[in-house]
Structure 1
Amino acid sequence: MGNEDERTFLQKASGQWNDFRTFLWNKNEKTVLGRNGKSWAQIGLFYLVFYTCLAVFWAIMLIVFLQTITDDQPKFKSYIGTPGLYQIPKFSEKLNPIKFDVQNEKTYLGYVKELQTVYDEYLERNGNGNYSSCVGNEIRDFDGVREEICEFDIEEQFGDVCKPPHFGYKFGKPCIFVGLNRVWGWKPENYPSDGIPDAIKKTHEENFITVACQVYKDAQTLLNSTMIAPVPGFSFKYYPFLGAINDNYKDMYVSPLVAIQFDLSVKNREVRLVCQSYAANIEPGNGLFDTSYRSELRIDMTITDKS
């Protein structure tokens, strides 16, 4: 019947292609993509002015923002007022709780490898860095600029506590390393003579952040002893951390560690241990990360002996 609907597929495709070519360039109306030269000039001018204004506005906002920050310290640091404890081996699905068989090396090999990795890193950094011996334990802060970088000789600091290659696991006296998170500019403070907590009165020393561990809920009969090195914890001489001021200092700074070795009095039973750090200004921050504890770490530990 000659109806348009009866056109073949190729005829329809050819017609659509011709329409598309006309849309791209209409030689009769002298238009490109449906617009003539005047229309393209108008829309081009509009977007040129629009994006120029947008770029100027963005640049002004960036300049204003840069006036509020400095190169020598972070702008926002109040949400983390005090450092928290962290543990090595780190918590993970495979390594938490700490559970191993004294007679089966494979059960504690993962813990030992992680401790050995950190131990070797500290040995290497101490040997390659230009560190100061930093006699004394006082805070090193020279009007906000700190060029002196105190060494942390892990072999000397730990002594006979938590020694490689087994870090006590082979003998059923497992070790962990604990450290404090870096908080820019934070300075530990000494307790007044009459304000030392009862939990650390026997071990506390001036110019140290004391570390103390006990069995959760005071079930001390489950724990024979705890050895800590260096005694009693973190020396003040490594604080404050001012890494943002000096890139060389930031790269070389080594966070101090404390080695803790546990001697449990029971086997084949899970024991929950609590380790805390003590300083006059380590208190709950009453902020986003507030807890009801001082800087605290909980470790669940089970030692079995299938000999």
Structure 2
Amino acid sequence: MPAQNKDEGGWKKFLWDSEKKEFLGRTGGSWSKIFLFYLIFYGCLAGIFIGTIQILLLTLSDYKPTWQDRVAPPGLTHYPRSDKAELIIYPEDDETYRTYIKAMKEFLESYDTEKQGDLMKFEDCGDQPGQYKNRGDLESDMGIRKACQFSKSFLGPCSGIEDRNFGFSEGKPCLIVKLNRIVNFRPKPPASNESIPEEAKHKVQPNVIPIHCTNKKEEDAGKLGEVKYYGIGGGFPLQYYPYYGKRPHSHYLQPLVAIQFVNISLNTEIRVECKVFGENIYYSDKDRYQGRFDVKIGVMTKST
């Protein structure tokens, strides 16, 4: 029992020694020196960290990403999209394509004419392919840059203006295609038609990035039928480039191309590949959306 009291007294004395005025074995002066040391030590660490971040920020541009190696330019995407890259529809059953129509309408909302009426932000660049629009240096302090207007009417029957079902109800489905935005990227048309397939050579023309869709598998040859392309020049016109970034070009609209499969074989699932062609457009086996995309399309009837 006395030993227990001694231990208990020793613990209490270590916590606070009234004779030496020590708390946890240290005097007030000792604790003050420790707190001062760590205050200076961690203050220096914080200063080094903040200084490093500030120096790093000085190397970054407000207008252009320092590194753009996440995706090699340019990506090609389409609407509507599905998780499995499949568009299998039954024209007489709107439930099989209702979500596709909704997605296309939502995507095209930003292309409504009334949203492009501010002449401080938009300009009419015409309905024919033209040269690049030079709106000043990328990192100049010119502020908001104008963007070219793009009317949905350029997309013909795939615009959703007259046919609210984008051809799905008639078994003539449409795809809306765009090149992904890349700051200060200027796509270059093919210098010649030697680098593109024979069936797409006629599409080479000045000031347009051509696009062409075909069956990906040889066994589907002849099943795809006629493919129509709607847009300015049937491709991506150069006057919509370059894109100056989100800060000065937040209202920017990419040019679109509508692709319609007007007589695709019924009751057959066809893997379709669409590619754009240009001098600085590349493809990768590791990325199915780099300069191209493929999608399985099937127009079915209830009798199957």
TM-score range, shorter chain: 0.7 to 0.9
Change (3 A) 1:128 1:166: farther
Matches within 5 A, 1:140-151: 140-145=133-138, 147-151=145-149
Counterpart AA for 1:160: P
Q: Distance in 1 between matches of 2:56 and 2:74?
A: 28
Change (3 A) 1:109 1:128: farther
Change (3 A) 1:176 1:40: same
Change (3 A) 1:159 1:119: same
Q: What 5-or-longer segments of structure 2 have no aligned partner?
A: none
Q: Distance in 2 between matches of 1:19 and 1:176?
A: 83
Alpha-carbon RMSD:
3.1
Q: Which residue of 1 aligns with 2:275?
A: 276
Matched, 1:57 2:48: yes
Change (3 A) 1:81 1:141: farther
Q: Which residue of 1 aligns with 2:249?
A: 250
Check the 8 A contact 1:100/1:108 in 2, yes or no: yes
Q: Which residue of 2 aligns with 1:73?
A: 64
Q: Which residue of 1 aligns with 2:299?
A: 303
Query: Shift of residue 70 of structure 1?
Result: 2.6
Counterpart AA for 1:168: G
Change (3 A) 1:170 1:42: same
Q: Relative to structure 2, which stretch is displaced further, 19-28 or 140-149?
A: 19-28
Q: Relative to structure 2, which stretch is displaced further, 228-237 or 22-31?
A: 22-31
Of the candidates 228, 243, 267, which is equivalent to residue 241 of structure 1?
243
Query: Shift of residue 36 of structure 1?
Result: 2.0
Q: Which residue of 1 aligns with 2:97?
A: 108
Q: Which residue of 2 aligns with 1:227?
A: 228
Matched, 1:158 2:155: yes
Counterpart AA for 2:225: N
Q: Percent identity?
A: 28
Counterpart AA for 2:156: G
Check the 8 A contact 2:225/2:264 in 1, yes or no: yes
Local SS of the residue matching 1:212: strand
Q: Relative to structure 2, which stretch is displaced further, 18-27 or 214-223?
A: 18-27
Q: Which residue of 2 aligns with 1:190?
A: 189
Local SS of the residue matching 1:260: strand
Q: Relative to structure 2, which stretch is displaced further, 53-62 or 124-133?
A: 124-133
TM-score by length of 2: 0.82
Q: Distance in 1 between matches of 2:188 and 2:194?
A: 12
TM-score by length of 1: 0.81
Q: Which residue of 2 aligns with 1:118?
A: 107
Q: What 5-or-longer segments of structure 1 have no aligned partner?
A: 6-11
Q: Which residue of 2 aligns with 1:131?
A: 122
Aligned length: 288
Query: Shift of residue 57 of structure 1?
Result: 1.6
Q: Which residue of 2 aligns with 1:35?
A: 26
Q: Deviations over 1:99-129 (max 9, x none)?
A: 1211111111011111111122321532467
Local SS of the residue matching 2:302: coil
Query: Shift of residue 253 of structure 1?
Result: 0.7
